[in-house]
């Protein structure tokens, strides 16, 4: 997957607030870390403190890891830094693993030399009558240190900054708030159920945030695209508190390409002024026009281009008949009934979790197997944290009855069953399981994966359970990938030497596992490229989002029978059926429903373009990362 012109970052036109888009979230995090480093070094040199406003959640993790690296490897001194965190759940004891107090110490503070007296996090363990005074005290402490020099923000799907939910006024100060239902739903998976998410939180106010000297708000992933667009391009409103940042003198949105996809500068840049008509942009514009004018590609006329501000396009690349035929032929050429080619080859499918393979590219798997290709699937993580406790108990009871019936070591069996039951009974929601329970949950996912793979024709001996080290925390929060993760990945590729590799390009996974797994694969492929290994690498999607028509480079047609087989394979993942532990965002559909509806929607879009009609289509994009790096 490549950009027409390789530019790691650029400021976007047509925004109401300065907006800097990066090719990848890692690049964006590194950029913000360097901004903070520069400020700290400058203030340290002058003997002045640096006051940072800090956020929590998945968005700033990359930033915090880079700050830790700068401290560890480049001697960045944090001893003069003073911090104020944005918010904390209420009620919430500081030692609870769900608390932002615990989160900040785990992800940042324990790795830096910030004095404990300089760290300020709202307290969620105070009695109700003490909260107002505590909030006033935080405001006074910020005022006494001269205000916040550099404020880091994320954005929630409700448009909140901090926990300033819709309806918060521009003048609001630090206070106790009631959380929006959208915010609580988004947090539900981390708390292992909506019923466990607190109703309230303490947050710095909008007015407090806007008094910071400099503000950077970061947003990554397709699932934040809609709210980012409304925050950046619409009038400021208390319906979206992030939009108030437009009224700040030094605030910047930092985005990756995925979250910027709905902005006019990315979606319809020709409306904002002259553009360089690269081949990908030509395709995007003509497809956009076809959908907007509700006409198939080959029925578009010159008046359609004039009416929709695309006359410059036909002046440079016309006439219309040649231009639309070119795009039609390109899109028609993406239709591929033999994804593995006409000669049998070996394909390796990397699946971040034990069900991503069949959810996202089950139809492609069916075609590959049915057409005689040797298909291997590598399950990169155990997926054990996504199994409900009641499923673990059910399987433990099955084993107990099995062993009892066949008189297999009854004493040891009963001892282990008791241990499992006691640990689950004593565990609070969201707390880590003991090793025995994690093993049972991992075994459930592995046996489901074998059953699903077998249903599409892949034999168990061609399945590889990688159990990558970064995932083995037993909690939602994962460790960063290391050389060990990359080495495991590279070794498997060396062993199999596949002609094709399939990778999850679905980077909207709310907990980042897809993104981390993809990074490990890409790093492994760059290492192997220096050893002379080459392969064809394709990115699939489907669990959270689907490729847009202008992005796809290959679509694999699915018949009604193919779709039925794909659904049956997804059904084999019984622990994820009916209600998944981590459904992702506000999408309440089951994964099989999402897969079917997205695949059929892609086919409908192709039909609207005047292309051949299919029941369903799975989209793929080719990864060309090695071309970018010159490896």
Mean pLDDT by 10 residues, the chain (631 residues): 58 97 92 98 98 95 96 98 98 94 96 98 97 98 98 94 96 97 85 87 98 97 92 96 97 95 96 95 98 98 96 95 98 98 97 96 98 98 92 93 94 92 86 90 97 98 96 75 95 98 77 85 96 96 86 98 97 88 69 94 98 97 77 55
The confidence score (pLDDT) of residue 2 equals: 39
**Residue 179 CA, distance from chain mean position:** 23
CA angle 245, 248, 249 (to 5 degrees): 145
Characterize the bridge pairing of strands 374-379 and 463-465.
Answer: parallel
**Residue 42 CA, distance from chain mean position:** 34
The confidence score (pLDDT) of residue 1 equals: 39
The confidence score (pLDDT) of residue 428 equals: 79
In sequence order, what are the beta bridge partners of 621? Answer: 539
The confidence score (pLDDT) of residue 584 equals: 59
Distances in Å between the Cα of 107 and the Cα atoms of 363, 441, 477 are 40, 26, 10
Distances in Å between the Cα of 501 and the Cα atoms of 193, 245, 349, 380, 406 are 36, 43, 6, 14, 44
In sequence order, what are the beta bridge partners of 616? Answer: 558
User: CA-to-CA distance for 432 and 437, rounded, in angstroms?
Assistant: 10
Tell me: the pLDDT tens digits for 213-253?
Answer: 999 999 998 889 999 999 999 999 999 999 999 999 999 99
Secondary-structure breakdown of the chain: helix, strand, coil percentages, each rounded to the nearest 5: 50, 15, 35
Give the per-residue SS3 of 276-303. CCCHHHHHHHHHHHHHHHCCCHHHCCHH
* pTM reported for the whole predicted model: 0.90
Query: For residue 343, what is the DSSP state?
Result: S
My answer on whether omega of the bond before 556 falls inside 30° of 0, hence cis, is: no
Distances in Å between the Cα of 298 and the Cα atoms of 24, 33, 284, 285, 317 are 35, 49, 15, 14, 15
The catalytic position among 66, 88, 165, 222 is: 165
CB 300 within 8 A of CB 324: yes
CA angle 484, 485, 488 (to 5 degrees): 85
The confidence score (pLDDT) of residue 67 equals: 98
Nearest to 452 by CA among 560, 361, 346: 361
User: CA-to-CA distance for 208 and 221, rounded, in angstroms?
Assistant: 27
Helix (H, G, I), strand (E, B) or coil at 618: strand
DSSP string over 66-121:
HHHHHHHHH----TTEEEEESEEEESB-TTSTTSHHHHHHHHTGGGS---GGGEE-
Q: Tell me which H or E stretch contains 437.
A: helix 435-455
User: CA-to-CA distance for 290 and 300, rounded, in angstroms?
Assistant: 7
Residue 165 annotated in active site: yes
User: CA-to-CA distance for 455 and 565, rounded, in angstroms?
Assistant: 8
The confidence score (pLDDT) of residue 5 equals: 44
Radius of gyration of the chain (CA): 26
């Amino acid at each position: 997957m490549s950009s027409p012109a390789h530019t790691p970052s650029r400021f976007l036109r047509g925004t109401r607030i300065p907006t800097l888009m990066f090719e990848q979230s890692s690049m964006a995090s590194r950029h913000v870390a360097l901004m903070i480093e520069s400020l700290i070094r400058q203030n340290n040199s002058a003997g002045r403190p640096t006051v940072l406003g800090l956020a929590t959640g998945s968005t700033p993790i990359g930033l915090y890891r880079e700050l830790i690296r700068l401290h560890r490897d480049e001697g960045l001194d944090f001893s003069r830094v003073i911090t104020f965190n944005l918010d904390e759940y209420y009620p919430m004891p500081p030692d609870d693993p769900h608390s932002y107090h615990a989160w900040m110490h785990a992800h940042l503070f324990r790795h830096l030399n910030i004095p404990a007296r300089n760290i300020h996090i709202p307290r969620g363990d105070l009695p109700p009558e003490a909260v107002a005074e505590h909030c006033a005290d935080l405001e006074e402490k910020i005022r006494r240190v001269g205000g916040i020099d550099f404020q880091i923000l994320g954005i929630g799907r409700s448009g909140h900054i901090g926990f300033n939910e819709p309806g918060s006024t521009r003048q609001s100060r630090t206070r106790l708030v009631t959380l929006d239902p959208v915010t609580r739903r988004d947090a539900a998976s981390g708390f292992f159920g909506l019923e466990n998410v607190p109703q309230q939180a303490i947050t710095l106010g909008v007015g407090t945030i806007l008094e910071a000297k400099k503000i950077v708000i970061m947003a990554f992933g397709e699932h934040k695209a809609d709210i980012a667009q409304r925050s950046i391009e619409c009038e400021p409103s208390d319906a979206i508190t992030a939009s108030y940042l437009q009224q700040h003198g030094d605030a910047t949105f930092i985005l990756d390409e995925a979250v910027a996809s709905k902005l006019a500068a990315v979606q319809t840049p020709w409306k904002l002024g002259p553009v360089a008509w690269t081949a990908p942009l030509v395709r995007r514009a003509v497809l956009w026009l076809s959908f907007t004018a509700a006409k198939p590609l080959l029925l578009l006329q010159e008046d359609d281009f004039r009416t929709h501000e695309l006359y410059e396009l036909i002046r440079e690349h016309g006439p219309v008949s040649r231009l639309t035929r070119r795009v039609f032929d390109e899109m028609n050429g993406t239709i591929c009934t033999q994804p593995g080619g006409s000669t049998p080859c070996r394909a390796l499918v990397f699946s971040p979790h034990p069900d991503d393979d069949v959810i996202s590219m089950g139809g492609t798997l069916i075609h590959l197997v049915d057409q005689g290709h040797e298909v291997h699937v590598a399950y990169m993580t155990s997926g054990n944290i996504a199994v409900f406790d009641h499923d673990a108990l059910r399987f433990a009871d099955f084993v107990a009855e099995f062993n009892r019936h066949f008189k297999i070591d009854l004493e040891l069996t009963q001892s282990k069953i008791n241990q499992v039951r006691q640990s689950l009974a004593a565990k609070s929601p969201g707390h880590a399981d003991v090793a025995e329970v994690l093993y049972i949950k991992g075994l459930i996912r592995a046996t489901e994966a074998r059953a699903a793979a077998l249903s599409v024709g892949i034999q168990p001996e061609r399945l590889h359970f990688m159990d990558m080290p970064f995932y083995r925390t037993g909690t939602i929060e994962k460790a960063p990938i290391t050389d060990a993760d990359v080495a495991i990945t590279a070794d498997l590729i060396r062993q199999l030497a596949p002609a094709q590799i399939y990778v999850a390009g679905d980077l909207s996974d709310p907990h980042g596992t897809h993104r981390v797994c993809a990074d490990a694969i890409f790093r492994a492929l760059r290492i192997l490229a220096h050893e002379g290994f080459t392969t064809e690498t394709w990115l699939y999607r489907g669990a959270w989002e689907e490729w847009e028509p202008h992005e796809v480079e290959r679509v694999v047609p699915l018949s009604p029978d193919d779709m039925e087989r794909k659904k049956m394979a997804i059904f084999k993942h019984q622990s994820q059926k009916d209600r998944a532990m981590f459904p992702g965002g506000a999408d309440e559909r089951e994964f099989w429903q999402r897969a079917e509806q997205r695949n059929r929607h892609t086919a409908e879009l192709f039909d609207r373009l005047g292309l051949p009609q299919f029941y369903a289509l799975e989209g793929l994009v080719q990864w060309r990362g090695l071309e970018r790096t010159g490896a």
